[in-house]
Structure 1
Protein backbone atom coordinates (compact mmCIF):
# COMPACT_ATOMS: atom_id res chain seq x y z
CA UNK A 1 0.00 0.00 0.00
CA UNK A 2 2.47 2.62 -1.13
CA UNK A 3 1.23 6.19 -0.85
CA UNK A 4 -1.07 5.52 2.09
CA UNK A 5 -0.51 6.22 5.76
CA UNK A 6 1.22 8.85 7.84
CA UNK A 7 4.62 8.29 6.14
CA UNK A 8 3.28 9.18 2.71
CA UNK A 9 4.78 12.53 1.58
CA UNK A 10 1.39 13.84 0.47
CA UNK A 11 -0.15 12.93 3.82
CA UNK A 12 2.76 14.55 5.67
CA UNK A 13 2.34 17.75 3.66
CA UNK A 14 -1.41 17.76 4.35
CA UNK A 15 -0.82 17.25 8.06
CA UNK A 16 1.82 19.99 8.12
CA UNK A 17 -0.59 22.41 6.45
CA UNK A 18 -3.24 21.48 9.02
CA UNK A 19 -0.75 22.04 11.86
CA UNK A 20 0.15 25.44 10.39
CA UNK A 21 -3.53 26.43 10.13
CA UNK A 22 -4.18 25.32 13.70
CA UNK A 23 -1.12 27.18 14.99
CA UNK A 24 -2.29 30.35 13.20
CA UNK A 25 -5.81 29.95 14.61
CA UNK A 26 -4.34 29.45 18.08
CA UNK A 27 -2.23 32.60 17.75
CA UNK A 28 -5.28 34.61 16.66
CA UNK A 29 -7.40 33.25 19.50
CA UNK A 30 -4.70 34.05 22.05
CA UNK A 31 -4.51 37.63 20.74
CA UNK A 32 -8.30 37.97 21.02
CA UNK A 33 -8.19 36.55 24.54
CA UNK A 34 -5.51 39.04 25.59
CA UNK A 35 -7.61 41.88 24.13
CA UNK A 36 -10.69 40.69 26.01
CA UNK A 37 -8.69 40.37 29.22
CA UNK A 38 -7.54 43.97 28.83
CA UNK A 39 -11.11 45.12 28.18
CA UNK A 40 -12.34 43.19 31.20
CA UNK A 41 -9.63 44.72 33.37
CA UNK A 42 -10.62 48.22 32.22
CA UNK A 43 -14.30 47.51 32.86
CA UNK A 44 -13.53 46.21 36.34
CA UNK A 45 -11.45 49.31 37.13
CA UNK A 46 -14.27 51.58 35.92
CA UNK A 47 -16.77 49.60 37.99
CA UNK A 48 -14.59 49.99 41.11
CA UNK A 49 -14.35 53.74 40.53
CA UNK A 50 -18.11 54.09 40.03
CA UNK A 51 -18.82 52.02 43.12
CA UNK A 52 -16.36 54.11 45.14
CA UNK A 53 -17.96 57.34 43.88
CA UNK A 54 -21.47 56.10 44.71
CA UNK A 55 -20.36 55.02 48.17
CA UNK A 56 -18.75 58.40 48.84
CA UNK A 57 -21.84 60.20 47.58
CA UNK A 58 -24.08 58.03 49.77
CA UNK A 59 -21.89 58.67 52.83
CA UNK A 60 -21.99 62.45 52.27
CA UNK A 61 -25.81 62.47 52.49
CA UNK A 62 -25.96 60.78 55.88
Structure 2
Protein backbone atom coordinates (compact mmCIF):
# COMPACT_ATOMS: atom_id res chain seq x y z
CA UNK A 1 0.00 0.00 0.00
CA UNK A 2 1.46 3.38 -0.96
CA UNK A 3 1.64 6.36 1.36
CA UNK A 4 0.27 9.72 0.24
CA UNK A 5 2.20 12.72 1.51
CA UNK A 6 1.54 16.44 1.27
CA UNK A 7 4.44 16.72 -1.19
CA UNK A 8 2.67 14.36 -3.61
CA UNK A 9 -0.64 16.23 -3.33
CA UNK A 10 0.79 19.70 -3.90
CA UNK A 11 2.33 18.81 -7.25
CA UNK A 12 -1.08 17.91 -8.73
CA UNK A 13 -2.98 21.04 -7.69
CA UNK A 14 -4.10 23.28 -10.54
CA UNK A 15 -6.09 26.49 -10.36
CA UNK A 16 -8.99 26.76 -12.78
CA UNK A 17 -11.41 29.60 -13.47
CA UNK A 18 -14.89 28.72 -12.17
CA UNK A 19 -18.44 29.44 -13.31
CA UNK A 20 -21.49 28.69 -11.16
CA UNK A 21 -24.41 27.44 -13.26
CA UNK A 22 -27.91 28.51 -12.26
CA UNK A 23 -30.47 25.70 -12.43
CA UNK A 24 -28.23 23.45 -14.55
CA UNK A 25 -25.94 20.53 -13.74
CA UNK A 26 -22.98 19.59 -15.92
CA UNK A 27 -21.36 16.17 -16.15
CA UNK A 28 -18.05 15.07 -17.76
CA UNK A 29 -18.11 14.90 -21.57
CA UNK A 30 -21.49 16.66 -21.64
CA UNK A 31 -22.15 19.31 -24.30
CA UNK A 32 -23.97 22.18 -22.66
CA UNK A 33 -25.21 25.57 -23.88
CA UNK A 34 -25.82 28.32 -21.35
CA UNK A 35 -25.77 32.12 -21.16
CA UNK A 36 -23.19 34.02 -19.14
CA UNK A 37 -24.27 37.42 -17.82
CA UNK A 38 -22.46 38.11 -14.55
CA UNK A 39 -19.19 40.07 -14.92
CA UNK A 40 -17.26 37.63 -12.71
CA UNK A 41 -18.41 34.70 -14.88
CA UNK A 42 -17.41 36.56 -18.05
CA UNK A 43 -13.97 37.20 -16.52
CA UNK A 44 -13.64 33.48 -15.67
CA UNK A 45 -14.52 32.52 -19.24
CA UNK A 46 -12.00 35.03 -20.63
CA UNK A 47 -9.31 33.61 -18.33
CA UNK A 48 -10.05 30.08 -19.54
CA UNK A 49 -9.98 31.07 -23.21
CA UNK A 50 -6.68 32.93 -22.77
CA UNK A 51 -4.99 29.94 -21.13
CA UNK A 52 -5.59 26.21 -21.63
CA UNK A 53 -9.37 26.49 -22.26
CA UNK A 54 -10.24 24.52 -19.13
CA UNK A 55 -12.89 25.77 -16.73
CA UNK A 56 -14.53 24.42 -13.59
CA UNK A 57 -18.34 24.38 -13.78
CA UNK A 58 -20.46 23.82 -10.72
CA UNK A 59 -24.17 23.83 -9.98
CA UNK A 60 -25.22 26.82 -7.92
CA UNK A 61 -27.15 25.70 -4.85
CA UNK A 62 -29.52 28.69 -4.63
CA UNK A 63 -30.49 29.97 -8.10
CA UNK A 64 -31.95 33.15 -6.62
CA UNK A 65 -28.54 34.50 -5.55
Q: TM-score range by the shorter chain?
A: under 0.3
**TM-score, structure 2 normalization:** 0.26
| Higher strand proportion | 2
**TM-score, structure 1 normalization:** 0.27
Determine which structure has more spread, i.e. the larger CA radius of gyration.
Answer: 1
Structure of higher RCO (CA pairs closer than 8 Å, 6+ residues apart) = 2
| Higher helix proportion | 1
